[in-house]
Structure 1
């Protein structure tokens, strides 16, 4: 059946039809549907409306409409003290925006109506810094916020007659936008043109690695053609889904999807190409060789792709928006890439035939003799295929316990380092130090309380004065604002709590948990609400913890079921899953060692373990499936020990090549401006390398050797010796 399927894509006519269909699909979809990058929505909600902080924001918007906007904090500073002309610039800006408000601008502090003494009182203790809050309406698009900030910057520079946003501390008056709006706009700007740079860097890396590994220019391009067509088909489909409101796409998911397509997609192509090259060594007919290669590799490719798709779809169970948004783009891209590797790539290989491998064209012994005879040259002895990896296979089967113990010790030791990992939940810490919003935040933290950047707002229908006094006693609360009564409903009152620590820190989130307990005791459930960036971050922490506890077990369970269905072996399924989990823990540990001790990160983003887990578990089982499939097939015709040796030898080269390329594409994320992508790229890339060069060629084959025939249990597969003995009894 597989050969008949292969014939549908590799025949003399069908190969061209297959290529034409992919070209037509790519062109038609690209011309008629929007690209995924055109429908990016970087301000999509990460928390559900039922989250405490989101519900609190809704209460503020309903009962305190004048204080429910999203603030941009315009920080002004002059070393040595702000001058009269500086205050005049600020007052002119406030008057201008009050009289001619920009779109979505909700409120601005009326500095132009305040006397000089009041302005001086608003500055820092040394008189060098002042914060001007500018509030925008909730749910304003990031692009509109960006346009507003650019308009304000232009007005400020005209009033100051210099570019105060480019000026440095020692150059007179400077200004910086920070706060939730400034952070949101900077986050969007970080990805401007970054996707194109990422795509170019990924393509060049894959091309260079393929040229280095296979030394065949055309062969290096063929996988990229397959991946390119998959990308051209995937992007408009995702763009259309986003335009219909079916999914939301952010820049982060597009970046990782690009890497995933080129990394995993190239792997699938190499599984087929390597098998095709081996078949060409024994088969004169390129068509027959391609059909045999398809027969031998398609099952593993399809199973590998299906495993990754299923694992990524589990992210739909995530309640945290960013994780949930990953599910469809990632799984759809792998699904389409799997189809391309089983249809388009075989068609291209059929078109080029042996020329795909030029100048190192694989030929049969007979063809080599004929070629040598025409040139009147002696036949050069052919090197044994996969010699290096067969030697590794022999070593593993001869000393399996040595391999098992040493591998587990290494992985376990690295896994222990993961216990030391520190996590962060804020976006600001993932920004480069020289970004405007981070500079503004640093100024506020130095000259004021850091909590001024993101106050905690408490709304209540209970005794606000008593609650305010009680909460103000917390050691990490710098001060509390005056109580504001609702003009909509007199039962509601609100006030702000200003922390004396970074409001985005883990310690600040712990404060939210304490405040919540105190409010529940004093006001009673349903009579209080906690809003603000710190409260949202606390909710994000709770949701992400829940997602980890739900998604990780579900992914493991699904992969166990898939492996059981494919291998029909409980024992093999068990140790294949356990080894991948051990590799994942080791990658977290080694990743933390590198990120913390070599790259200087004091913590990693809390979402990374879940992302890395889903990718490494799914992609790790890819290599498991490919290698175990080879061992299982060979064990039908030879002793298990020999089958392991041959299986490691046959798959070692392609798995190591694929692993290098996949890890390399993840490491490309290190060039991205957001540290969450840098950290994800480092940890996932390390995990792929550990899988490729420790788990797959050493640990898994060694365990298989030790298990012996029990590796197949409860399958009825017999070793060659058992089959001979059974046959002898029947005689």
Structure 2
């Protein structure tokens, strides 16, 4: 090799690392700036075509500015009656009219039937963002001027503030927990000091690039980002970048063990691992892109945001990491040697031997266990989480809502909004009043104030109905459903039902619709990628069925754990869909790593030997990747929200179940039992009498890493 060629070979890795250093320096800070373009305004994430969304748009004509209400609740110190303080309470909130952040005049303070509490509703602007918390403090300060009372704040504005508090510091805390977990696992896996730092550096560079791209998209209004999407993006990029890095570094170690120099080893590792990494990344990215079919804005936001994250992760794994390995060579694995890992390989040799000897027994036991777990999926309630379970710790808005429900109709302060044609006003009012679950009905007069008769605007009238049930309960949603059925049956009324509870009902219905539309699309996308990669029809179908079974088994276990361990009465309606997209796409990832290697070995040594060698050579790295990904998703548990806690458990448990049972036992045993037929319509290997390709000769008996020369 000429000196000039040697010099040019070293310049390419240096140039790549220099580019990534610039990316890290310039774009890294964006990992902490996504909060600047994020919104936790739940009204921004309503279904596009829902009836409640149409109500939001139409009621602007009634001078009802879109608002975010806060319910002020007064109770007397030490209990007792509060009626004597009603005038002072009304004056206190009336003084807030026209102050910064308000969106109209507050309602007068009204006493409860037991005369133990007063309540008033203060409408706030929905676009306050970071100014919402200071605005609520001004409301509280005004309300506290009523002597001898305790003040609590409930309603959507108070809940949104507690949500913002839950997500505050998400950038630093979540990232620190995830990186610490990854670092510990990588130190145990590699038994090296330098390589884990290289892998984590690449993952952090990928996260900085992804956050910069998402920041630009959100800043231009192309995507919406909330705290949940922000947290999932961080976890997804760190976990995916580390997973891909594990595959590349493991392949580089094999090449170094075979005697290649550092440049050739890195180049060979990149060439041989890139197809599997790209196929895996494409599977996850396209699975996420399928979320664009959702009717829910936050689901549609997660699709492109997650796909951007995956793209940046694979870019880092296939450029920065090979460049670093080319420059470091064997030093990257210090103090361990690249030939190390015989202990782990020995474990997977024993697993492979078990699968080879008793394939039918292995897959039958694994399949039975997964089917038993899957039965529990039928008990999973995904009709939403009540407010008192939304947070996994005590928050003021929940305590205030519970106090409110003890003294007032539970739906007070969060009315159901009804719009209808003016000619049908009497019939509509009567129908609303007669609907089971409605406690009271009030017409909207001029300037949007309560009135005895409704004020018509453009031929339409507006009513507010108070439900007997709390607005976040299934009973309240059932009331909305009954009300819509009754009103839609009135000829010529053109009635629409909206409000907070109707919005939650529409979100639930949209989530159910999304599952029926998106799940088949994701499965079709994954199946297509597998067919193209493995050049087979039978194996892709087998892999898709096994990861789908892993998903149902995970849901079955989750239903038990959520109910009996965490104490959740249900799950957020988007949890099953998110769990499906992540688990199926990521589960196919590991099967792609396994089966692409099995196919490679089958071409050399025959179908039976191909399964054994593929399982031995990928067992350690894929299991490590699964543990890393499970740990990173488990880090979502640091955010005190039920939704993210549920996602964290489902993905973490499901990934471990997939790597330890489905990919390690079920899939290899099924492929081993089916033999060369599983690759139909192609036949990459033809078994001889002893399970090897005739003519493979000594190559079929080549030693695997960690085998003895005994």
Pairwise same-fold verdict (TM > 0.5): yes
What does residue 114 of structure 1 align with? none
- Summarize the Cα distance change of 1:144–1:105 in structure 2 as closer, same or farther, 3 Å threshold: farther
What does residue 109 of structure 1 align with? 107
What does residue 330 of structure 1 align with? 306
How far has the Cα of 1:483 moved from its partner? 6.4
Matches within 5 A, 1:574-585: 574-585=541-552
- Summarize the Cα distance change of 1:15–1:406 in structure 2 as closer, same or farther, 3 Å threshold: same
User: Residue 386 of structure 1 is aligned with which of 319, 342, 345?
Assistant: 345
Structure 1 position 593 matched with structure 2 position 560: yes
Partner-residue secondary structure (3-state), 1:131: strand
What does residue 375 of structure 2 align with? 416
1:587-633 Cα distance to aligned partner (Å, 9 max, x none)? 11111111111111111111001001111111111100110011111
What does residue 135 of structure 2 align with? 148
What does residue 503 of structure 1 align with? 471
How far has the Cα of 1:189 moved from its partner? 2.1
- Summarize the Cα distance change of 1:32–1:257 in structure 2 as closer, same or farther, 3 Å threshold: closer
What does residue 694 of structure 2 align with? 724
Partner-residue secondary structure (3-state), 1:451: coil
Please tell me whether the aligned partners of residues 636 and 644 of structure 2 are also in contact (alpha carbons under 8 angstroms).
Answer: yes
What does residue 449 of structure 1 align with? 409
> Which segments of structure 1 move beyond 6 Å, counting only runs of 4 or more?
7-10, 31-34
User: Residue 268 of structure 2 is aligned with which of 287, 292, 297?
Assistant: 292
Structure 1 position 134 matched with structure 2 position 122: yes
- Summarize the Cα distance change of 1:487–1:183 in structure 2 as closer, same or farther, 3 Å threshold: same
Partner-residue secondary structure (3-state), 1:176: strand
Structure 1 position 474 matched with structure 2 position 435: yes
- Summarize the Cα distance change of 1:554–1:398 in structure 2 as closer, same or farther, 3 Å threshold: same
1:302-343 Cα distance to aligned partner (Å, 9 max, x none)? 111111111111111111011111011110011011011000
Please tell me whether the aligned partners of residues 272 and 297 of structure 1 are also in contact (alpha carbons under 8 angstroms).
Answer: yes
- Summarize the Cα distance change of 1:86–1:224 in structure 2 as closer, same or farther, 3 Å threshold: farther
What does residue 75 of structure 1 align with? 73
Matches within 5 A, 1:668-707: 668-707=635-674
Q: What count of residue pairs does the alignment treat as equivalent?
A: 679
Query: Which structure 1 residue ranges, 5 or more long, are not aligned?
Result: 1-6, 112-121, 162-171, 365-381
User: Residue 681 of structure 2 is aligned with which of 714, 725, 729?
Assistant: 714
- C-alpha distance in 2, partners of 1:143/1:263? 30
What does residue 21 of structure 1 align with? 19
The TM-score with structure 2 as length reference comes to: 0.90
How far has the Cα of 1:472 moved from its partner? 2.4
User: Residue 357 of structure 2 is aligned with which of 391, 398, 401?
Assistant: 398
Structure 1 position 555 matched with structure 2 position 555: no
- C-alpha distance in 2, partners of 1:266/1:481? 58
What does residue 203 of structure 1 align with? 179
- C-alpha distance in 2, partners of 1:277/1:23? 25
Which moved further from structure 2: 47-56 or 572-581?
47-56
Please tell me whether the aligned partners of residues 211 and 217 of structure 1 are also in contact (alpha carbons under 8 angstroms).
Answer: yes
Which moved further from structure 2: 86-95 or 496-505?
86-95
- Summarize the Cα distance change of 1:209–1:82 in structure 2 as closer, same or farther, 3 Å threshold: farther
The TM-score with structure 1 as length reference comes to: 0.88
Please tell me whether the aligned partners of residues 217 and 358 of structure 1 are also in contact (alpha carbons under 8 angstroms).
Answer: yes
- Summarize the Cα distance change of 1:66–1:327 in structure 2 as closer, same or farther, 3 Å threshold: closer
- Summarize the Cα distance change of 1:662–1:385 in structure 2 as closer, same or farther, 3 Å threshold: closer
Please tell me whether the aligned partners of residues 569 and 713 of structure 1 are also in contact (alpha carbons under 8 angstroms).
Answer: yes
Please tell me whether the aligned partners of residues 576 and 624 of structure 1 are also in contact (alpha carbons under 8 angstroms).
Answer: yes
- C-alpha distance in 2, partners of 1:195/1:523? 53
Please tell me whether the aligned partners of residues 344 and 620 of structure 2 are also in contact (alpha carbons under 8 angstroms).
Answer: no
What does residue 373 of structure 1 align with? none
- C-alpha distance in 1, partners of 2:66/2:687? 75
How far has the Cα of 1:13 moved from its partner? 1.3
Which moved further from structure 2: 477-486 or 645-654?
477-486
- C-alpha distance in 1, partners of 2:119/2:217? 42
Partner-residue secondary structure (3-state), 2:604: coil
- C-alpha distance in 1, partners of 2:614/2:581? 27
- Summarize the Cα distance change of 1:66–1:329 in structure 2 as closer, same or farther, 3 Å threshold: closer
What does residue 379 of structure 1 align with? none
Please tell me whether the aligned partners of residues 419 and 495 of structure 2 are also in contact (alpha carbons under 8 angstroms).
Answer: yes
What does residue 702 of structure 2 align with? none
1:160-208 Cα distance to aligned partner (Å, 9 max, x none)? 68xxxxxxxxxx7322222122222222222111331111100111111
Partner-residue secondary structure (3-state), 2:603: coil
User: Residue 262 of structure 1 is aligned with which of 227, 238, 260?
Assistant: 238
Matches within 5 A, 1:190-229: 190-229=166-205
Matches within 5 A, 1:274-673: 274-283=250-259, 285-362=261-338, 383=342, 386-425=345-384, 428=387, 429-432=389-392, 434-461=394-421, 462-482=423-443, 484=445, 485-487=453-455, 489=457, 491-524=459-492, 527-673=494-640
What does residue 46 of structure 1 align with? 45
- Summarize the Cα distance change of 1:313–1:675 in structure 2 as closer, same or farther, 3 Å threshold: same
Please tell me whether the aligned partners of residues 76 and 173 of structure 1 are also in contact (alpha carbons under 8 angstroms).
Answer: yes
Structure 1 position 90 matched with structure 2 position 89: yes
- Summarize the Cα distance change of 1:96–1:26 in structure 2 as closer, same or farther, 3 Å threshold: same
- C-alpha distance in 1, partners of 2:100/2:615? 66
